[in-house]
Amino acid sequence: MRIAASHKGVALWSMVLHASPVVQLMMLILLAASVASWTMIFRKWFIMKNAYREADRFEDRFWKGANVNQMYAELSRDEDQLSGMASVFVAGFREYMRFEKQRGMQPMNILDGVQRAMRVALSREVEFLETNLSFLATVGSTSPYIGLFGTVWGIMAAFQSFGQMQQATLAHVAPGISEALVATAMGLFAAIPAVIAYNRYADDADRIVSRYEIFLEEFASVLQRQVFVAKAGT
């Protein structure tokens, strides 16, 4: 079985080497797209895994009655390394503290400013989570057509050489067609993982962003109660 597999590998490599220059160019493009998409697939897997883990960790600490001022002091020291809910929290609480020091600020104005700051931080997190998803979608949607173009071109070349032979048989044209069909196979090999990964990570991004938005609204409600209690005591 190993000998047969090795023979098939050699035959496949031989077909690639003997393909026309245009077909080889399409294969090279598809190979580059496949390598790049697999690199991004693994990178996005780590990003999404870390995003879930950090969200769980932050929510567990925040909703178990942690001191908000202490959390802000700890997180703001490493603000450049923050991401996810921690980034949204720091942006909102910083704005809250800034407005709280200003006299004459109305509660609703404070809350509007805090929510704007958190929305800006949320937008940055969404952009980070969705980075490279468009590339995966592009690879998934275009790779089959690139492979098909290489196949059509290769088959055209095979039939042109077939027509120039006086005694042509299927054995003469079959190798050219086989070489051309490799481009279609490579197109599918590049497209299928990219499409699966795009759908998976797009869904993950939506779920994580939904958690961020829920936390944003809940934290805004907490600050709202705190603002009105503070204003009522003055």
Compare 167 and 92 and report the one with higher pLDDT.
92
pLDDT digit string, tens, across residues 8-50: 544 555 655 666 777 788 888 999 999 999 999 999 999 999 9
pLDDT, mean of residues 49-61: 91
| pLDDT-derived band at 4, boundaries 50, 70, 90 | very low
What is the model's pLDDT at position 76? 81
Instruction: State the burial class of residue 38 (Cβ atoms within 10 Å of its Cβ: 0-12, 13-18, 19+).
Output: middle
In sequence order, what DSSP letters do the residues of 43-99 get, joined into one string? HHHHHHHHHHHHHHHHHHHHTTT--HHHHHHHHHHTGGG--THHHHHHHHHHHHHHH
Provide the number of structural domains found in the chain: 1
Q: Is the dihedral of CA 51, 52, 55, 57 positive or negative?
A: negative
Write out the residue range of the structural domain in which residue 62 sits: 2-232
pLDDT at 126: 92
Count of residues in the chain: 234
Please name the amino acid found at residue 207: R
Query: What pTM was estimated for this model as a whole?
Result: 0.80
